[in-house]
Structure 1
Amino acid sequence: MRISSFQFIQRNLDNISARSSEANRQLGQMSSGKRVEYASDDPVAANGIFNYKQELTKLQQYQTNITLAENRLRREESGLTSAENITQQVKEIMLKANSGAISQQERDAYKNELQSRFDEMLDIANSKDEFGQAIFGGFQTDSDPFTRQPNGDIKYSGDSGQRQIVIGNSVKVALNHDGELVFGGVPNPRGDFTVKYNLGDESRTDQVRVEGASISDRGAFTDAHPYQIEFVERTPPELGKVSYMINKTDANGNTIPALPAALPYTAGDIMTVDGVDILIKGDAKVGDEIKLSSSVKDGTGHDELGVFDILNRAKSWLESDGHNANGQGEYGDILDELDAMGVHFTRVRADTGNRMQRLDNQAETHADMTLTLNKLRSGMEDLDYAKATGEFSQTMVALQATQTMFGKIQNMSLFNYI
């Protein structure tokens, strides 16, 4: 078979061009450090590398979400810690103010100090995150969730929504506790009712106080409160002994007996009426009255209190003469409510800490997975420099040999031998 000069030259030029392209490709790999730069370099490996990179991108987004969640939860934790401190400060104010020896000027100073703590608590309730969104507003984050009413009460205008963020495959964490829970969910230390005392001024060996009033039988509970407990003279009379009778309010607003007759009162014994167990301790006198009420009308009882309601009650006590039987009964309730408030803030803060611990655990998991995926990706994508250098040397030797041989052969001609 005869080969024309053109075919011979073209074939050798194609050979040189191919080896030059291979050398350039190898130089590009050594420059970038990547064995697979294009899918054509290794289609199977390129597909695996693409999947690894997708997973790494997802992990990076999870880590960004974790950082965002940590920032928000740390702000919430800081606010809850401050709320705990304020609660303790209010209790200290109340303890110092419960002295008959203090002057009106000192009482006013305590009242002003408590008002400052009240305002600080309101600022915490309306605190914002780094994006200016209300931390305790639920899903309503664009405005202050707590507003002061003309009568001094605090109204919550947020909702019970809980914002969540994805931090892993099928793993979410909540970014907030809503204000209804944090500032309106203090467990009522009395159980399911709030207490109001109307006691006589007689001296007594032990202050009368309601230790508990809880609904024990939901089926028997009629929601016909308030319950008015009245202490009357025992029949037949006994020195130092009294009886009690309980009235309630029917659906028409009429006061009716809740018990058929007066019963002997013994401090520490449980009184039961309409499925409600009432525990009263202390030295009761004839004429003493205790009112148990609830603002809840759904059959569940008033088993939770609002933070600002407790603070307002403490402020009202400071504004009145609390050094009498009525005041001391209410004073004991206020201290118990402040204790419950502090425990409540601690419990919510602990839940925030649990969420932050979950973030830390998830971040460690992502870090380990990122390291593993990068190692696998590197094994498929990165260049083995020792092997690549050897292959490049072989390519250059072959290229040079091809070029030299082509140069010598193309100069050969019969005219050189004539």
Structure 2
Amino acid sequence: MRISSVTMFEQSVSSMNRQQSDFLKVSQQIASGRRVVNPSDDPQAASRAVGVDQARAVTQQHADSRVSARNALAQTESVLNSVSDAVTSAKTLMIQASSDTLSDADRQSVASELRGVYETLIGQANATDGNGRHLFGGYNDSTEPFVKKEGGVEYVGDSNNREQRIDASRLMKVSDNGQAIFQSVPSGAGHVATAGDGNNGNVTFKGPQIVDQEEVEPNEPYTISFGGDAASGYTYTVKDSSGTVAGPEGYEPDSEEPVRIEFDGLALELEGEPVDGDTIAVKPADQGNTDLFTTLENALGVLENPTENAADKAALRNTLSTSMRELDNSLDNVLTTRASVGARLNELDVVDSVGGNRMINYEQTLSDLVDLDYAEAIGEYSLRQVGLQASQKAFADMKGMSLFQFL
């Protein structure tokens, strides 16, 4: 068989090109730190790596979302802490104003402080986050959720709560709407007593208290109506929403001890003398006033007006008593919401830990699929370099071979 010079040259060039290609491939792997530089290097590993990389990117997005959610919840928790302090301060002022030793001027001074607390609470209810979004406006967070109008403070925000996906299977509430915080009471808040607007007597009340939980009708409102006079004797009638619960009974005011009346597991202590037609309403907390701002407005209304007679003083004491009970319910509601925010912050820490472990697993899997074993690659690099040099040396030696040298 004859081997021509062209054949030898072509085979030698082909061998050098192959050796050079293998050498450059290893060089590229070392430079990039990846075993799979092109999908053709390992199609199966490249395909799996794409899926793992996409899952890692989604996990990272959820991690970024948790950062945003944590910031919003931390700001909410901080504002709610300030709100609870303000409500506590308002109740302290009302207790101070309830003292019979204060004059009208003293109560005006207390009212001035209370109005400052009232304005502070409105500002906190309209608080914003670092991006200018209102915390308690629901999805309508571009405008102030609470607006002062002639009839009081009105909520104009959204009734929904903003939610954010913090993990593939977890959609978390990252804000609570202001209506649920400032205009609601917690479940099981009990009953609240309120004196009738048209009362002319000086009866004041304390309570109600629960004396028998099993007899209490949780959703039942009551109306206590007074009749008679000092000469013929006073009476009272307790009615629920469907009719009379307790018929007329004698009511004998005592200047030293309050009169205690009981009905359906509840008890109310009364002092003073009523006027025929006076009433006291006893309602479940969620059926009465649940608005924190209305509570403060009612208290300010009686504190800023002078007390001219016994009926005015009774109205003052009754309004403050009702307002303090409503403040207790509002504070419980704020604290319940704050506890919920704290629980969500704790959950974020747990989900962060799980997400961090998941990211480590993805990184390890991706490394196993496409990353380079440098020790093996350097050995391969040296071997390919020797092969390339050998093919070049062989070609250099072979190209000088010719029969004409022997003629």
TM-score, structure 2 normalization: 0.85
Contact kept? 2:223, 2:280, Cα under 8 Å: yes
Offset at 1:137? 1.1
Identity %, equivalent residues: 25
Please say if 1:378 is aligned against 2:367.
yes
Offset at 1:406? 1.3
Change (3 A) 1:380 1:190: closer
Matched residue, 2:294:
309
Q: Where do 1:4-83 residues align within 5 Å?
A: 4-83=4-83
Change (3 A) 1:247 1:381: closer
Q: Where do 1:353-372 residues align within 5 Å?
A: 353-372=342-361
2:201 is aligned with what amino acid?
Answer: G
1:54-101 CA-partner distances (Å, limit 9, x unpaired): 111011100110001011111111111110010111122222223333
SS of match in other structure, 2:287: coil
Change (3 A) 1:188 1:217: closer
Offset at 1:41? 1.2
Contact kept? 2:222, 2:238, Cα under 8 Å: no
SS of match in other structure, 1:354: helix
Change (3 A) 1:400 1:304: farther
Q: 1:230 aligns with which of 226, 233, 242?
A: 226
Distance 1:63 1:188 in 2: 34
Change (3 A) 1:262 1:99: closer
Change (3 A) 1:316 1:189: farther
Distance 2:327 2:145 in 1: 23
SS of match in other structure, 1:282: strand
Q: 2:206 aligns with which of 204, 209, 214?
A: 209
1:139 is aligned with what amino acid?
Answer: Y
Change (3 A) 1:307 1:189: farther
Change (3 A) 1:313 1:190: farther
Contact kept? 1:228, 1:292, Cα under 8 Å: yes
SS of match in other structure, 2:96: helix
1:15 is aligned with what amino acid?
Answer: S
Distance 2:341 2:189 in 1: 27
Distance 1:287 1:189 in 2: 33
Show structure 1 runs of 5+ residues with no match: 251-256
SS of match in other structure, 1:58: helix
Q: Where do 1:244-283 residues align within 5 Å?
A: 244-246=236-238, 258=244, 261-264=247-250, 268-271=260-263, 279-283=267-271
Distance 1:351 1:360 in 2: 15
Please say if 1:156 is aligned against 2:155.
yes
1:263 is aligned with what amino acid?
Answer: E
Distance 1:99 1:293 in 2: 24
2:334 is aligned with what amino acid?
Answer: F
Matched residue, 1:116:
116
Matched residue, 1:352:
341
Please say if 1:330 is aligned against 2:319.
yes
Show structure 2 runs of 5+ residues with no match: 253-258
Matched residue, 2:168:
169
1:282 is aligned with what amino acid?
Answer: L
Change (3 A) 1:89 1:156: same
Matched residue, 1:253:
none
Please say if 1:287 is aligned against 2:271.
no
1:157 is aligned with what amino acid?
Answer: V
Matched residue, 2:256:
none
> Aligned-pair RMSD on alpha carbons?
3.2
Offset at 1:144? 1.0
1:318-343 CA-partner distances (Å, limit 9, x unpaired): 12357833322332222222222222
Q: Where do 1:120-135 residues align within 5 Å?
A: 120-135=120-135
TM-score, structure 1 normalization: 0.83
Contact kept? 2:226, 2:237, Cα under 8 Å: yes
Please say if 1:200 is aligned against 2:201.
yes
Contact kept? 1:189, 1:340, Cα under 8 Å: no
